[in-house]
Chains A and B, each alone.
Chain A
Amino acid sequence: GAVVSQHPSRVICKSGTSVKIECRSLDFQATTMFWYRQFPKKSLMLMATSNEGSKATYEQGVEKDKFLINHASLTLSTLTVTSAHPEDSSFYICSARDSAVSYGYTFGSGTRLTVV
């Protein structure tokens, strides 16, 4: 079946540095990529949606200059957390939509980011 490979699974970084998270779709073309964030005991919340070759659409309250999303190819999307601060510590997970499959969403395994 469709697989999305997400890396890294866990990262610890210093405050003020940037972190890049990658999601690669294997064996299918991810025309749309959704990026979610989950804080402890909360639900997955959509941060942004990106379509291949277009600028990402950000949800209200999500800073586009802080969370840079690149979706330059049909198999790779990246989320870069710029100038990370402790409050950005969270669980980030991507979900790719396979245009060939109705209602098909395939998730990565998530990235646990800790900013110290």
Chain B
Amino acid sequence: ILNVEQSPQSLHVQEGDSTNFTCSFPSSNFYALHWYRWETAKSPEALFVMTLNGDEKKKGRISATLNTKEGYSYLYIKGSQPEDSATYLCAFCTVLGSTLGRLYFGRGTQLTVWP
């Protein structure tokens, strides 16, 4: 089983604060790194798929970076809003194994943004 670690486990911030989370994953046999936003009782929503070392992606106030050589990705949220409250999951996809395309998930970072 490959380890994917996310930190912090939970985060409480005030509206307007900027925040960032970390996802660490194995630095070998990398294929892709996925970020998802997951609200309670809904389906996880894909935010980013990152494949190249040094990738930076942005979607509105949310952005992510990728370092495959050292095995980490950061997710940033600028000016957090209450609607950003959710669990943010990262998932690592490796070229190894018989099931190409299987995702290894972290436990997620639960973000709460207070108005």
A→B interface (CB under 8 Å): 3-4, 6, 9, 32, 34, 36, 41-46, 49, 57, 95, 97, 103-110
Chain B 71-110 interface mask (CB, 8 Å, partner A; 1/0): 0000000000000000001010100001101111111100
Q: How many A-B residue pairs have CB under 8 A?
A: 49
A108 to B99, CA, bound (A): 20
A49 to B100, CA, bound (A): 10
A15 to B105, CA, bound (A): 30
B42 touches A109 (CB 8 A): yes
Select one of B4, B36, B41 contacting A109, CB under 8 A: B41
A97 touches B101 (CB 8 A): yes
B11 at the A/B interface (Cβ < 8 Å)?
no
Chain A to chain B contacts (Cβ below 8 Å), 22 pairs: A3-B43, A34-B102, A36-B105, A42-B107, A43-B4, A43-B105, A43-B106, A43-B108, A44-B89, A44-B91, A44-B103, A49-B102, A57-B98, A95-B103, A103-B32, A103-B49, A103-B51, A103-B93, A104-B46, A105-B46, A105-B103, A109-B43
Closest to B4 in A: A43
Residues of B within 8 A of A103 (CB): 32, 34, 49, 51, 93
A32 touches B106 (CB 8 A): no
B→A interface (CB under 8 Å): 4, 32, 34, 36, 41-44, 46, 49, 51, 89, 91, 93, 98-99, 101-108
A19 to B114, CA, bound (A): 39
Q: Determine how close the nearest CB of chain B comes to the CB of A107; give it in whole angstroms.
A: 4
A6 to B103, CA, bound (A): 19
Main secondary structure of the interface of B (DSSP, over half): loop
A6 to B49, CA, bound (A): 23
A109 to B102, CA, bound (A): 18
Central interface residue in B43, B91, B102, by most chain A CB within 10 Å: B43
A32 touches B44 (CB 8 A): no
Q: Determine how close the nearest CB of chain B comes to the CB of A52; give it in whole angstroms.
A: 14
Residues of B within 8 A of A97 (CB): 101
Residues of A within 8 A of B43 (CB): 3-4, 6, 106-110
5 closest residue pairs by CB, A with B: A44-B105, A103-B49, A43-B105, A107-B43, A107-B44
